[in-house]
Structure 1
C-alpha cells in the first residue's frame, strides 16, 4: 500500500478512459456466457445491506487525497454523492507499481460491505501458468491489454450510492465506474476482454478467432499466438472489435513479436524458450530472508517460488521439505493456532532449501519448451499420529495437496 509520502511523490495511473459499450459486448457473447455475465452483473446492483439497514453502513477512516480526488473527478471516475441514502462504503487506497516508464500508483476502491455480503462464487477460467507456456513454439505472438480496464465499465446510476467515500476535505463522493477491488470485478473483465479478443469458448461463432491462432486472455491482457501473419491479422481484428465497443487499449501493442513479456514470463519464440521477467526476478531478490518472515510473508513468498518453479521447470521434489514446512505453518494458521503476523519459524533445514530455491530462481536460466515432453508426476506421502497427507508434484509444477 502506498504511504502518504508515496501519494505525494508518485503519480497516479492514467484513469482518463471512456466508457465501453456493454451492449456490443452482449451481442458478441454466446448464450451461456451472456447468462453468466448477467448473473454476476446482478450482484453489482445488489445492496450489501438489508433494506431496514439502509444508511447504517459503517464509514471507514480512509479518505481520498485531494490531488487524487481532483484527477478521479476530472476523469469521471467519481462524482458528488446524490441525495440517495448511502448504502455502502468503499475503502480507497493506492499501491505502487513498477513500470518501464517508472513507478506509478494504481488506485483501488475496496467495497468492504459488498465484498463481505455478496453471495459470489468465482468462475474465472484462469489456468495454472504451465498452460500458457506452449505457445512459445509458435512463430510469433501479438499482445494487447485494456487500459485502466475496470474504469472502462460504467456503473448503473441506481447502484452508485452503494460505493461511497469521502475526500480529505470531507466531500462525500460516489463511484461511477466498476471498482478495482470488488471481488466479482475480475470475472466481469475476463468476459469483456475475452469477447473483444474473440475467444472461441466465449463468443458466438461469427466473432470467434480462427483455428490458425491461439488466443489467451488473463483479466485484461490478450495474447494471440500463431504464424507472424496470422497473429498480426487477428490482432487487427481485435483492434476493430475494441474500436466498435469503444474500449481503450494500452499503447504497448506488440504485433507479431518473437520476444515479449506475458504474465510475468519472458517468451522467446526464436529459441522456443521461456524465463522469468526481469521485474519478477527483481521482486524475488528484494524479498527478505526466509528466517525472518511472518506467516503472511512466508505464504506470499512460497506462492511466488512455486510460480517461478513452474516456469523454469524446476524439480520441486528436491524442495519437498520446504513445501512441507510451509504447509504445516499454514495449517496452523487455518486452525487458529497462530496469526498471519506470527513469526513463520521455519526449521533451519527448510530455510536452507527455500533459500536454495530462491537462488535457482534468481539465476533465471532459460527453459526450452519441447513439443514431445512426457507428462509425469511424483507422489510423496506422509503420516503421523494426527493423520496422513500427500503432495502430488507434476512436472508442470501444479502442486496438489491431499489429506
Structure 2
C-alpha cells in the first residue's frame, strides 16, 4: 500500500512538472476503499444473477513462494522467481460466467464497423464457437461412460482410441490394477505439472500412455484402447477426446507415433486413400466409407443421422461448444479487493449487505505465516457474524 501510494504521488508530481492540467479533485485510485466499495457492489450484482460462482480449479502452485503463478510465470516447469518446481494444485476460486455471453459477443463483432478485420478474426477465434456432438463411450472395466465432444462425428467409425486428460476423474480408477501403475502415475504427475501453454502448443511433442483399459465404440461396437495424453486438458470440453487418426492431423501424429490403427472412413470424390492425398484433404468433408449403414452419405448428412441415432439411445446429443472459458477472478493473494462473501456453517455463502460495504482489506496482518494466507492472521477480518442468522461466521 505504501509503495503504491508513494508511486502515485511521484507520478502526480511528474505530470504537474510536465504542465499537464487535470482536475485532481476527480482523481480515482482503484486500491482505495471509496473505489473498491463499488467493485464489491458490482460483484454482488453478478452473484445475485448467478454470474459469479465458486468452484475448484487447478492452478500453478509454487510451494517455496506459497503462491499461485500465471501460466506465463512457469518456465520449463519451474517458478520464474525461485526456479523451484511448480505443481498443479486444486484450489477453490471465484469465476465470472462470461461464457453466458459467448453468442452475443460473437454476433456483435459484426457491429464493430471500424475495427480491423484481423482483430475481429482474433476475437472470433478466441470465442471459438463450434457445432458438434457430445456422446459417450462405455468403459466396462470401471462401469462408467466417458463423454467426448467432436465436430466430426461422421468419422466415428474410424475411432481407434480414446484419450483422457491426466487430470480426468476416471484416471485413478482406470490405472488401479495396471501392472505398470507406478510408471503411469509418474507420467501423470509429469503431465499435470506442465503448463497448459506447453501442453497445447502445436510444436510440443504428443506424449501418451495406454491405461490398460478399453472403451466400446457406441456405433461399431469395437473395443478401442483408452490412453492418457498431454494434449488433452481436463477443463476444455469434456476432458476426453476420440481419436480418428485418418481424418485429424493431431490424431494422425499420435497414432503414427504409438503405432495405433489408422482407418479411413471418409473419402474424397471417390479417390483412393493415400498418405499424399491425406495431407491434402484429411480434414475435409466427403463421402462415408467403412461406416456401416452410413456408407455413401455425405459428411453433413452422416453428422445429422449419427447424432440422431446417439440421441435416440440417450447417449449423445447435438451441442454448441465454445473455446471461451469463464473468467477466474480470485488470484489467491493478499493485496487486492476482498470478496464480500461471508461463510456460515449453518447458512452457507452469504453476501455482505450492500449498506455495509466496503469490506475493508485488513492491515493488522503478518507476512511470516508461510503457506497460510496473511488474511488468516487478522482476527478482525477472519471472524464475523452471519448477516442471515446472526451466528458466528
TM-score normalised according to structure 1 size:
0.25
| Bigger radius of gyration among the two | 2
Q: Which has the higher helix share?
A: 1
TM-score normalised according to structure 2 size:
0.26
